[in-house]
């Protein structure tokens, strides 16, 4: 049996925020010090021109639900046919119950569900979990979701943070099908470095440092990034994600058709994949109009490319993600037309 993608879906909130609009919100951008206007700085460093912001009353679960429904529609499945749901997010609706509880209930399915409290690497880790559970527990149809409301944990006064991070959701349907050739997931690779975890952190709000009025006033409930530490980590890990996934698949970089990386920032992606021998035209990103949606960035970009008809049978695609934790994961996926995969379902 072969586990393959039979449907993809994504969701970006209605509100679109252009770079110029951020000038009315941020408080710490100095054009003279930056040597450019804010729009040019964000385009040059991050590759971001615009992004989507969720409404105040729009939750992570709401966004994940829309992406899930779109993936199910693409897979031509009813929700009650799904046996497993694995969702990743760092911005859950509640501490308990998790966002995935809401998604399962709204879909009207009794599928077993799991949620990973995971940020940027979350979607890839959720794929690994789903693939493992399907292999070991016999599930035939699974839904993998990543959704984030990053604007909930980002200080909108800080141009470096609100200029990069944004909101959205993506999902895929995985199925175990009978296909004669080698398609689907050819390798997985993952790693973690907890000692580096403080480079991306939300200091207060957990059991170690409970949120108080004083800590909130100090902005300790917002995401903090040590950019000088994150950049070299992200570049070398992006390179390693490509190289390790390719090697574990028994391939070389010449066998790779495309790479869909986590949208850390354009400069990180270009430097990291370039060092792995990937050409710029092979790198597929949506960061210019989505920003960094954390765990949702890879499935969102994947869905856009699928709907644009980018892939053909036999294309070898590296999906990779890295960030908060610090953690990273990657896979090589050999493409098969979802329609042909659906025809082979049992």
For 124-139, write each residue's pLDDT tens digit.
999 999 999 999 999 9
Asked if 170 and 258 sit in the same domain, the reply is no
- Spot the catalytic one: 19, 52, 120, 125: 120
CA distances from 58 to 84, 163, 176, 211, 290 (A): 25, 20, 33, 23, 17
Provide the token pair at 221.
Answer: 């409930």
Query: Which residue bears the tokens 């609009």?
Result: 21
Query: For 134, how many CA atoms within 13 A lie in the half-sphere containing its CB?
Result: 26
Q: Worst-scoring range by mean pLDDT, 81-85, 226-230, 340-344? A: 226-230
| The pLDDT of residue 181 | 78
Asked if 201 and 260 sit in the same domain, the reply is yes
Asked if 34 and 164 sit in the same domain, the reply is yes
Q: Residue 115: pLDDT band by 50, 70, 90 thresholds?
A: very high
Is 94 a known active-site residue? no
Q: Which helix (H) or strand (E) holds 86?
A: strand 84-89
Q: Residue 1: pLDDT band by 50, 70, 90 thresholds?
A: low
Here the CATH number for the domain that contains residue 111 is: 3.40.47.10
Asked if 83 and 193 sit in the same domain, the reply is no
- Spot the catalytic one: 19, 52, 98, 292: 292
For 246-286, write each residue's pLDDT tens digit.
999 999 999 999 999 999 999 999 999 999 999 999 999 99
Rounded mean pLDDT, 240-246: 98
Ramachandran quadrant class, 267 (left: phi over 0; alpha: psi -120 to 50; beta: rest): alpha
- CA distance between the termini of the chain: 10
Is 262 a known active-site residue? yes
Backbone phi, psi, residue 132, to 5°? -65, -45
What is the spatial distance between Cα 121 and Cα 281, in angstroms, rounded to a whole number?
23
Asked if 189 and 158 sit in the same domain, the reply is no
What is the spatial distance between Cα 74 and Cα 337, in angstroms, rounded to a whole number?
12
Asked if 27 and 46 sit in the same domain, the reply is yes
Asked if 338 and 201 sit in the same domain, the reply is yes
Asked if 18 and 109 sit in the same domain, the reply is yes
Provide the token pair at 3.
Answer: 């586990």
Asked if 42 and 145 sit in the same domain, the reply is yes
Q: Which of 142, 177, 212 is the C-terminal boundary of a domain? A: 177
Number of structural domains in the chain: 2
For 185-222, write each residue's pLDDT tens digit.
999 999 999 998 998 899 999 999 999 999 999 999 99
- Spot the catalytic one: 52, 98, 221, 262: 262
Asked if 110 and 125 sit in the same domain, the reply is yes
| The pLDDT of residue 229 | 87
Do 22 and 154 form a contact (C-beta atoms < 8 A)?
no
Residue 81: helix, strand or coil by DSSP? helix
| The pLDDT of residue 154 | 97
Structural domain span for residue 67: 2-177
Asked if 243 and 173 sit in the same domain, the reply is no
| The pLDDT of residue 159 | 97
For 72-95, write each residue's pLDDT tens digit.
999 999 999 999 999 999 999 999
Query: Which residue bears the tokens 């994940």?
Result: 64
Q: Which of 152, 177, 202 is the C-terminal boundary of a domain? A: 177
Tell me the pLDDT of the chain averaged across its residues: 96
Percent of the chain residues past pLDDT 70, beyond the cut: 99
What is the spatial distance between Cα 169 and Cα 68, in angstroms, rounded to a whole number?
9
Is 292 a known active-site residue? yes
Do 320 and 295 form a contact (C-beta atoms < 8 A)?
no
């Amino acid at each position: 049996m072969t586990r393959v993608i039979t449907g993809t879906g994504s969701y970006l909130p209605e509100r679109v925020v252009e770079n110029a609009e951020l000038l009315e919100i941020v408080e710490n951008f100095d054009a003279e010090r930056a040597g450019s206007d804010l729009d040019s700085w964000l385009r040059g460093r991050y590759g971001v021109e615009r992004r989507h912001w969720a409404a105040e009353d729009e939750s992570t679960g709401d966004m994940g639900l829309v992406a899930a429904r779109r993936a199910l529609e693409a897979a031509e499945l009813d929700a009650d046919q799904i046996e497993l749901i694995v969702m990743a997010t760092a911005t859950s609706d509640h501490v308990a119950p998790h966002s995935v509880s809401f998604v399962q209930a709204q879909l009207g399915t009794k599928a077993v569900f799991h949620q990973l409290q995971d940020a940027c690497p979350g979607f890839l880790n959720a794929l690994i979990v789903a693939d493992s559970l399907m292999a070991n527990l016999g599930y035939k149809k699974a839904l993998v979701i990543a959704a984030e409301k990053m604007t909930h944990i980002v200080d909108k006064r800080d141009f470096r943070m609100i200029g990069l991070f944004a909101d959205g959701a993506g999902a895929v349907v995985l199925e175990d099908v009978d296909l004669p050739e080698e398609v689907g997931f050819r390798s997985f690779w993952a790693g973690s470095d907890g000692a580096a975890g403080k480079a991306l952190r939300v200091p207060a709000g957990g059991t170690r440092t409970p949120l108080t009025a004083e800590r909130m006033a100090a902005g300790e409930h917002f995401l903090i990034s040590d950019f000088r530490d994150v950049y070299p980590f992200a570049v070398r890990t992006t390179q390693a994600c490509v190289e390790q996934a390719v090697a574990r698949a028994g391939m070389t970089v010449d066998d790779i058709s495309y790479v869909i990386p986590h949208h850390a920032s354009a400069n990180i992606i270009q430097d990291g994949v370039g060092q792995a021998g990937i050409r710029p035209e092979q790198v597929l990103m949506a960061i210019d109009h989505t920003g960094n949606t954390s765990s949702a960035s890879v499935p969102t970009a994947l869905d856009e490319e699928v709907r644009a008809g980018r892939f053909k049978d036999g294309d070898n695609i590296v999906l990779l993600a890295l960030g908060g934790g610090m953690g990273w994961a990657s896979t090589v996926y050999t493409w098969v037309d979802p329609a042909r995969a659906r025809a082979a379902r049992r």
